[in-house]
């Protein structure tokens, strides 16, 4: 294992880390190295172990087995901790304080903090700087947690589902802020269960499911492994499976007049359907949701089927 004296040290190193709770194996042998300056999204459904992995990285929980290093140090070490900014899920903040005061207090915990004004600007909280925390909306509160994470001008940011509870617009501007921060060469580790969020922000996506890493790749590569779009419509009269022979689809479901399938090329599949003169009604084309992505990534079957069944 490298030490700070001998050369560049990874921001985070997990080696064969396991974490067992009473009867549950929350993390089942995770090895992961996050280099400095990387922006990594940990993607996974609820209960996949993302939060546990982050709390292990930060020394908030001790691994049942394996090794954890934060900037080459023990994660409980203050020297390591002063280089990190953390945004937890379900944090508490004190109610009687105002936004700017809370930021000012947290700044004082770090050796080289950003000016309070800059922190408020980064988090988009300038307009509510003098508001009491109790008077903040859910999204504003979330941004306050972000402010507390960046106020120490950390080299590494750890964000556990930072956009939870935000609406689309708030999420967009929030992610833009994180991107700006990350562009200055900082390490960002965030967990999310939105594939698009990981896609927008990260150069690397680590997919976690049931306590294990099931994929670790660029967002583009991850997306390519997920069967593209889900298409559903109704046709009268009811078609048979034979009618779909030769179309670039997988996972075909037929229930009377209702048709549903996956396709990495829905345009081509639909063009073929229209050419057959079908009276297509109630058409829906949606991105395959993450649940399906996980099915394909964890079992490998979905992705394989998508490749073998498609005859473009």
Partner 1 sequence: MTATLAYLRFELQRTLRTRGFLLFVLGFPVLFYLLLKDTAGTGFRPLGIPFAGYYMVCMAGFGAMITAINSSGPRLAAERSSGWNRQLRVTPLPGWAYLSTKVLTSLLLTLPVMVVVMAVAAVFGPVHISAVTALELLVALMAGSLTFAAAGVLLGYAISSDTANPMINGGLLLLAYFGGLFEPVAAMAAWQQQIAYVTPTYQLAAVGWWVLGGRTPLLPHALALLAYLIAFSALALWRVEVDEARSAA
**Interface with partner 1 (CB under 8 A), residue from 2, 3, 21, 115:** 21
Minimal distance in Å, beta carbon 66 to partner 1? 15
Q: Is 111 in the site for partner 1 (CB under 8 A)?
A: yes
Piece of the chain touching partner 1 by CB under 8 A; list 93-101, 193-201, 240-248, 258-266: 93-101
**Interface with partner 1 (CB under 8 A), residue from 24, 31, 65, 109:** 109
Minimal distance in Å, beta carbon 112 to partner 1? 11
R_g (Cα) of the chain, nearest Å: 23
What is the rounded distance in angstroms from the CA atom of residue 177 to the CA atom of residue 33?
25
**Interface with partner 1 (CB under 8 A), residue from 5, 7, 8, 96:** 96
Piece of the chain touching partner 1 by CB under 8 A; list 35-43, 66-74, 84-92, 232-240: 84-92
Specify the residue, 49 or 152, whose C-beta has the smaller distance to partner 1: 152
109 touches 97 (CB < 8 A): no
Q: What one-character-per-residue DSSP string does 48-102 give?
A: SSHHHHHHHHTTSS--SEEEEEETTB-TT-HHHHTTEEEE-SS----TTSBHHHH
Specify the residue, 106 or 278, whose C-beta has the smaller distance to partner 1: 106
What is the rounded distance in angstroms from the CA atom of residue 34 to the CA atom of residue 189?
9
Q: Is 67 in the site for partner 1 (CB under 8 A)?
A: no
- Give me the phi and psi of 308, to 5 degrees please: -80, -30
Minimal distance in Å, beta carbon 152 to partner 1? 8
* C-alpha dist (Å) from residue 188 to 51, 148, 185, 223: 15, 15, 9, 21
Closest CA to 225 of 293, 286, 285: 293
**Interface with partner 1 (CB under 8 A), residue from 14, 40, 51, 81:** 81
Binding site for partner 1 (CB under 8 A): 21, 58, 60-62, 78, 81-82, 84, 86, 88, 90-94, 96-97, 101, 104-106, 108-111, 145, 148, 152
């Amino acid at each position: 294992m490298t030490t700070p004296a001998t050369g560049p040290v990874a921001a985070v190193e997990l080696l064969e880390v396991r974490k067992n709770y009473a009867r549950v194996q929350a993390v089942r042998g995770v090895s992961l190295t996050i280099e400095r300056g990387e922006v990594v999204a940990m993607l996974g459904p609820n209960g996949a172990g993302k939060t546990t992995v982050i709390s292990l990285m930060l020394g908030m929980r001790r691994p049942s087995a394996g090794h954890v290093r934060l900037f080459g140090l023990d994660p409980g070490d203050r020297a390591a901790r002063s280089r990190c900014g953390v945004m937890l899920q379900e944090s508490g903040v004190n109610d009687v304080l105002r936004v700017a005061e809370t930021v000012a207090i947290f700044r004082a915990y770090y050796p080289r903090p950003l000016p309070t004004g800059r922190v408020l600007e980064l988090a988009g909280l300038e307009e509510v700087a003098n508001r009491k925390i109790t008077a903040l909306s859910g999204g504003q509160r979330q941004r306050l947690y972000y402010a507390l994470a960046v106020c120490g001008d950390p080299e590494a940011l750890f964000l556990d589902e930072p956009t939870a509870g935000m609406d689309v617009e708030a999420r967009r501007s929030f992610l833009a802020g994180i991107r700006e921060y990350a562009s200055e060469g900082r390490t960002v580790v965030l967990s999310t269960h939105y594939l698009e969020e990981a896609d927008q922000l990260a150069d690397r996506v680590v997919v976690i499911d049931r306590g294990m890493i099931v994929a670790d790749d660029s967002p583009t590569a991850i997306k390519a492994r997920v069967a593209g779009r889900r298409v559903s419509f109704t046709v009268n009269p009811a078609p048979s499976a034979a009618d779909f022979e030769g179309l670039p689809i997988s996972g075909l479901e037929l229930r009377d007049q209702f048709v549903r399938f996956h396709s990495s090329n829905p345009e081509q599949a639909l063009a073929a359907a229209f050419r057959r003169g079908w009276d297509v009604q109630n058409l829906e084309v949606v991105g395959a949701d993450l649940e399906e992505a996980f099915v394909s990534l964890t079992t490998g079957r979905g992705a394989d089927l998508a490749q073998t069944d498609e005859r473009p």
